[in-house]
């Protein structure tokens, strides 16, 4: 089925246009340049200073901020390639990577397409046709049902009854977890189909969906395959990608910790059969669901066939986000010397597209060690994985041994609502899985990231979790253990107090006498004046003082047995002439918010031995250490402190006067992020119950439902479908008569207002 010539001409591209952005564009550019191939980047209007462009030799501007105006414009991308003198196009992943029309447009323009043929992309991009092809090839499938072009509620319900609950609704096109909904009650199926259709239409331009039986305890395991135009076809073993949220992968690893050798053999045989029936050329991935219940029975000694554990999911006709873990583990053995050579899948793609045969045979492919990758997302995990926007005031991942960094952003860069919220991938490789997990957790825990909320704390918790380390990973892992994982990464009161002390010292040292030759840090010629800094646990300061009154009961800042601390921490510093400080840490918030200073939890000396833009070498009561302090400057009210024994502590710098503009009116629901209103489900005067859906907002290619914070009557509807909204913009106001009466008694609402919950669309 491939359209590659039988005897292809062997010639590498001279220049490759990379039709993508972010970390994957930078990663492709690095390989191109290492092979002497010019890398041409592209940029939307908001990406003209983006990180990926620095990795390219040059770049072309292609249009407006939204994907539809830029990265999804096949005509603009082909024109950019021609303007830049490129003779090939690499699509990366996402956007148009699996659009057969784009591949055809590239080929019709006389350019080389770095990927499988448009016919293969078209067949596998249509998941319905893909299932039919795989069934004919003898590949195991999950039971499912197609839906008519415009299904009625009766059509949908009948299909659901045939399959049986639970059910997963899937988009027929695209990938990345978009257009997918899990359904556990038939009454919810029609709404789930409609929501999935809207999301699929927005993300892929194709709103067709189908239904499949949802396997209760699956692992998500995939096989990397590569083929060339000479008839060679290889598998590069498997990856496990079971830890997911919203049906999108979060942690990936190679090899899978949960399957045995017989199941691995069944997976690779089925993957090669799938690729062979397609005449697959280039790199691709065959994805499977693996039933953990069947695996458990096999571990218990039951004679269950390995084939019963696996079922075909889909073929991704592109480079996968998680391809680095395969590159880190899989190698090619030199036949003469026995030495192992690492692989570069982008290099292999370029060789294959240039007509060269694959530089290896199956018997020379070996695996060694273990590699784990995490996806660092801009998102608020406790808020339901809500995508986050903002400007990164600090962003770095330390280049520790065994750590590979694929960074898509840098400090100072804005995270906008226009694109996927993935900021970076961080990969750790080691001889064993436990070592790889420990390395990766340490690197993430030492990474200063401020200005934008991320999932970094959750990733660290997963990597250090005993269940994860035991290999007990299914796609339900995060859903089952999220509250426990988040509770264990929440900084203890002792760590919060120490972090506040270090942040205050760092700010004082850098802001006081920096740049004055011969003057020690923190110098004072009086030793009398106390300087005061106040912090709140991240997120509390934003709603105003009224909601931040703490209840505190804290032991010594250096006492491991310190008990509970809730609310704010005030640090008082008095500089000595020898560059040390007298210091006090108190519970409570500033005098503007509280009549009393609070309770002293630490009083003693602090000595500064050195400092930099983002670090502090400091000694407290004989304990000297280096801590990282990020943020907290004039551009940010957030400060993050990382160091030995601290973990990751995020604090908000409390201004000397409360920001009353942030106090919400009672019953107001606000936009969780910048986005576009998709639907408005209520009208003024309508009674609603607590938790009822008021507005659906689309941002970062996902739908988010904003719900009523309380029962009552809708008194204001401030938005309409199609309207662009900014973060925190009021959408709907729901008046609760009881709350309104209480508000009349108080000049300031005692809880600082109540924003509606931003709830992720059912995934």
Indicate which residues carry an active-site annotation.
318
Q: Is 487 exposed, middle or buried (0-12, 13-18, 19+ CB in 10 A)?
A: exposed
Helix, strand or coil, per DSSP, at residue 167: strand
CB distance 426 to 397 below 8 Å: yes
Quote the CA–CA distance of 507 and 511 in Å, as a whole number. Answer: 6
What count of other Cβ atoms lies within 10 Å of the Cβ of residue 176? 22
Quote the CA–CA distance of 705 and 760 in Å, as a whole number. Answer: 6
Helix, strand or coil, per DSSP, at residue 125: helix
Distance in angstroms between the alpha carbons of the first and the last residue of the chain: 35
Say how far residue 192 (Cα) sits from the centre of its chain.
24
| HSE-up (13 A, CA, CB side) for residue 648 | 25
| HSE-up (13 A, CA, CB side) for residue 92 | 28
Instruction: Please name the helix (run of DSSP H) or strand (run of DSSP E) that holds residue 261, with its range, or none.
Output: helix 261-278
**Residue 458 tokens, joined:** 């959750």
Q: Which residues contact 733 (CB under 8 A, 6 or more apart)?
A: 665, 667, 668, 669, 714, 715, 716, 718
Quote the CA–CA distance of 466 and 159 in Å, as a whole number. Answer: 40
Helix/strand/coil percent split, the chain, to 5: 30, 30, 40
**Residue 341 tokens, joined:** 């050579």
Helix, strand or coil, per DSSP, at residue 659: coil
**Residue 667 tokens, joined:** 């019953």
CB distance 484 to 603 below 8 Å: no
Q: Which residues contact 404 (CB under 8 A, 6 or more apart)?
A: 324, 328, 426, 427, 428, 429
Strand extents, DSSP E, 501-568 = 531-537
Quote the CA–CA distance of 17 and 109 in Å, as a whole number. Answer: 13
Burial 466-483, CB ≥16 within 10 A → b, else e:
eebbeebbbbebbeebbe
Backbone angles phi, psi at 619, to 5 degrees: -125, 125
Nearest one of 92, 98, 96 to 55, comparing CA atoms: 92
Nearest one of 27, 68, 460 to 251, comparing CA atoms: 460
Q: How far is CA 58 from CA 17, 29, 283, 624, in A?
A: 10, 10, 26, 47
Q: At CA 664, angle to CA 659 and CA 669, rounded to 5?
A: 140
């Amino acid at each position: 089925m491939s359209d590659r010539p039988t005897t292809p001409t062997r010639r590498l591209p001279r220049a490759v246009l990379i039709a993508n952005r972010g970390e994957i564009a930078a990663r492709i550019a690095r390989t191109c340049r290492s092979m002497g191939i010019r890398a041409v980047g592209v940029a939307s209007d908001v990406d003209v200073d983006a990180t990926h462009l620095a990795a390219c030799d040059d770049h072309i501007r292609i249009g407006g901020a939204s994907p539809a105006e830029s990265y999804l414009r096949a005509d603009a991308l082909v024109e950019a390639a021609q303007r830049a003198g490129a003779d090939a196009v690499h699509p990366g992943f996402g956007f148009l990577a699996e659009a057969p029309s784009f591949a055809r447009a590239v080929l019709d323009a006389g350019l080389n397409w770095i990927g499988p043929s448009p016919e293969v992309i078209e067949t596998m991009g249509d998941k319905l046709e893909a299932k039919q092809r795989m069934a004919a090839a003898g590949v195991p499938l999950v039971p499912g049902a197609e839906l008519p072009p415009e299904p009625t509620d009766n059509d949908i319900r009948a299909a659901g009854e045939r399959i049986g609950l639970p059910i997963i609704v899937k988009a027929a096109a695209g990938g990345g977890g978009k257009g997918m909904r899990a359904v556990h009650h038939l009454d919810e199926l029609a709404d789930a189909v409609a929501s999935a259709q809207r999301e699929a239409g927005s993300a892929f331009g194709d709103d067709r969906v189908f239904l499949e039986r949802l396997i209760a305890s699956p692992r998500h395991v995939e096989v990397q395959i590569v083929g060339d135009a000479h008839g060679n076809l290889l598998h590069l073993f498997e990856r496990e990608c079971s830890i997911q949220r919203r049906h999108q992968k979060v942690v990936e690893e190679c090899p899978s910790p949960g399957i045995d050798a017989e199941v691995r053999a069944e997976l690779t045989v089925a993957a090669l059969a799938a690729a062979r029936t397609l005449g697959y050329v280039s790199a691709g991935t065959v994805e499977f669901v693996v039933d953990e219940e069947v695996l458990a029975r096999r571990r218990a000694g039951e004679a269950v066939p390995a084939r019963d554990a696996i079922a075909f999911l889909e073929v991704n006709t592109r480079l996968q986000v998680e391809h680095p873990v395969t590159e880190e583990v899989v190698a090619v053995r030199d036949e003469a010397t026995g030495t192992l050579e690492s692989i570069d899948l982008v290099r292999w793609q370029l060789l294959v597209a240039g007509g060269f045969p694959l530089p290896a045979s199956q018997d020379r492919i070996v695996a060694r060690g273990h590699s784990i990758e995490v996806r660092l997302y801009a998102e608020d995990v406790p808020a339901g994985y809500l995508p986050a926007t903002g400007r990164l005031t600090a962003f770095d991942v330390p280049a520790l041994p065994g750590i590979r960094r694929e960074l898509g952003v840098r400090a100072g860069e804005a995270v906008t609502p226009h694109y996927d919220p993935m900021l970076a991938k961080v990969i750790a490789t080691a001889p064993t899985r436990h070592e790889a997990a420990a390395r990766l957790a340490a690197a993430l825990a030492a990474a200063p990231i401020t200005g934008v909320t991320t999932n970094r704390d959750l990733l660290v918790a997963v990597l250090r979790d005993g269940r994860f380390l035991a290999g007990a990973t299914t796609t339900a892992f995060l859903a089952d253990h999220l509250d426990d994982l988040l509770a264990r990464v929440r900084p203890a009161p002792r760590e919060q107090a120490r972090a506040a002390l270090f942040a205050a010292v760092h700010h004082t040292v850098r802001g006081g006498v920096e740049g004055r030759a011969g003057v020690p840090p923190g110098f004072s010629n009086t030793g009398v004046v106390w300087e005061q800094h106040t912090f709140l646990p991240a997120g509390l300061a934003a709603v105003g003082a009224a909601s931040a009154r703490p209840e505190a009961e804290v032991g010594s800042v250096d006492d491991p047995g310190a008990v509970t601390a809730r609310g704010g921490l005030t640090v008082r510093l008095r500089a000595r002439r020898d560059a040390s400080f007298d210091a006090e840490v108190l519970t409570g918030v500033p005098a503007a918010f509280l009549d009393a200073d609070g309770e002293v939890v630490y009083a003693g000396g602090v000595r500064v031995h050195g400092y930099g833009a983002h670090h502090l070498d400091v000694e407290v009561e004989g304990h000297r250490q280096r801590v990282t302090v990020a943020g907290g400057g004039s551009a940010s009210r957030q400060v993050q402190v990382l160091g030995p024994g601290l973990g990751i502590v995020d604090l908000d710098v409390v201004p000397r006067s409360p920001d009353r503009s942030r106090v919400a009116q009672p019953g107001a629901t606000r936009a969780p992020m910048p986005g576009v209103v998709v639907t408005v489900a209520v009208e003024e005067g309508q009674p609603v119950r607590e938790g009822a859906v008021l507005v659906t907002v689309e941002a970062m290619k996902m739908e988010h439902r904003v719900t009523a914070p309380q029962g009552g009557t809708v008194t204001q509807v401030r938005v309409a479908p199609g309207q662009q909204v900014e973060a925190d913009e009021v959408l709907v106001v729901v008046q609760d008569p009881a709350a309104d009466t209480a508000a009349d008694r108080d000049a300031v609402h005692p809880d600082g207002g109540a924003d509606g919950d931003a709830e992720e669309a059912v995934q």
